[in-house]
Structure formats: C-alpha cells, structure tokens
Amino acid sequence: MREGIAVFLRDGDGVRVFSGGSSVNFGCHIALGRAYSAQKSAIMRDTRERIMEAAFALMIKNGVDAVSTGDITKALGLSRSLPYRYFSTKRELVYETFKLYFCDRFFPDPGAPAPSTLYEAVRLVADRLSELMGALGKSIGGRIDVFDYNALYLEALKREPRFKRYASLQSAKFSECVDRAIASGEIKTLSADFVKRVLLDVFGRGSDVLSKKSPKRNLENIISDMRDFYELVKSARR
C-alpha cells in the first residue's frame, strides 16, 4: 500500500483505517472518547453538587444575602469564577440549591407518582430528613439545626416565586397521600386539611426552639412526633 493512501474497512468493533502499512481502530478511539465524556460529566456533576452543598450550609448559617459566591468558593478551595460555569447568576445558584435541598432530596422527580400510602410518605420524609441533616452537618463540621433549615425554607418561599411554584408540586404529592389514605381507610375518617396541617406543623413547628434543646434532640423529636401522629390517626384495620 502506497504511503499517503488510506483504506477504510469495517470490522466488528468499528472502522479500521490502514495507511502506509499501519492501522488504527477508530472503534477504540470512539470508546475512549465516550469514556472520557462520561468521566468529565461525572466530575462536573460532582463539582456542581459540591457548590450547592457549600452554598446551602452557608445560607443556613448566615442567611442568603450574607453569602457571596466568593464565600462559597473559599469554603471549597476553588477559584472564584468556577460557580459561573454551572450557574449564570447567584440567583440561579440559590434557586437550584433551594430546589435540591428542600424538594428533590425528598421527592427527586416532581412528575413521579406520590408514595402509595401515607405511612410510606411519613417514613420517607423522616428518613431523608435525618440523612440530609447528617450530610449537611458533615459538610460544615458540625450539626445543622432543623429549625434553621425550616427558617431558610420559609425565606426561600418568600423571596423566590419560581421556587414557591416548584415546592407546590411537592406539597400536592403529600396532599394526594393524605386524601388517598382517608379514602382507602388507611387512616381514620378525619378532615384531610387537619391531617396535612398537623403533619406539616410537626415538621416545621417552632415550639421546641424556646426550649433550647440540642439540634440532635430537635431532629429526633420531630421524627418521633411525625411517626407518633401517624400511629394516632391510622385506622384500626391497618
């Protein structure tokens, strides 16, 4: 074969090119390229989530307005410009962070069906709340108080209309669980609004704030009370 002339032949793994007595398997190059792209995407997702985790921990501690992108990158040891590779503005970063830590960590897919029973919904919220508080505590080297978490949630609802609309989708899932539980006889025939209000009040109540209990005890009380309330209202048939 003369130098400078390439012959393309197909084999089982891809296209093999013969040129000047040598050959290169393009299937291997394609596979390597895909592996590199997958690895790069994974790294970018990890960096994006690290930025949001640091942002959320700082916002719980200091409030939204007191936290700059510089504070976030300083906490992570990253360049100041890095967040803008993933978020167009600080507001966009805050919005996506609110979505992740107040909604998606509990119900990742807004379009997915609600849990099939109220028991399942209560257990899911309790378990994921406990996991979330533990993960956030590790990221800042201390405990996150669930009441600070709830205070930031209320601030998020007030300051970001897009988040309020998104959060309403999650709230609708919870309401659906309560309505289904009453209709199926899973819980007693009570006012659906009453059940929803009490469970949400248990989750976000401020009655323990003045007692000055530890963040760990506050979280344990909320999870315990959510489960106890379910036991109180469940049907004797269950």
User: Using H for helix, E for strand and C for coil, what is the string for 90-102?
Assistant: HHHHHHHHHHHHH
β-pairing verdict for 22-25 and 6-10: unpaired
Which CATH number does the domain 91-233 belong to among 1.10.357, 1.10.3470, 1.10.287, 3.40.50? 1.10.357
Question: Domain coordinates of the chain in residue numbers?
Answer: 91-233
Write down the pLDDT at residue 132.
84
pLDDT for 44 equals 60
Q: Rounded to whole angstroms, how far apart are CA atoms 50 and 20?
A: 49
Torsion of CA 194, 197, 203, 204, to 10 degrees: -150
pLDDT value of residue 129: 84
Block means of pLDDT (10 residues each) for the chain, 238 residues, are 43 46 52 51 75 92 92 92 94 95 80 84 86 78 78 90 87 87 92 86 55 66 83 78
Prediction pTM value: 0.68
Note whether 163 and 157 are within 8 A (CB).
yes
**186 and 118 in contact (C-beta within 8 Å)?**
yes
Model confidence over 126-165: pLDDT tens digits? 888 888 888 877 776 667 777 788 889 889 989 999 999 8
Which pLDDT does position 215 carry in this prediction?
66
Structural tokens at position 100: 């992740």
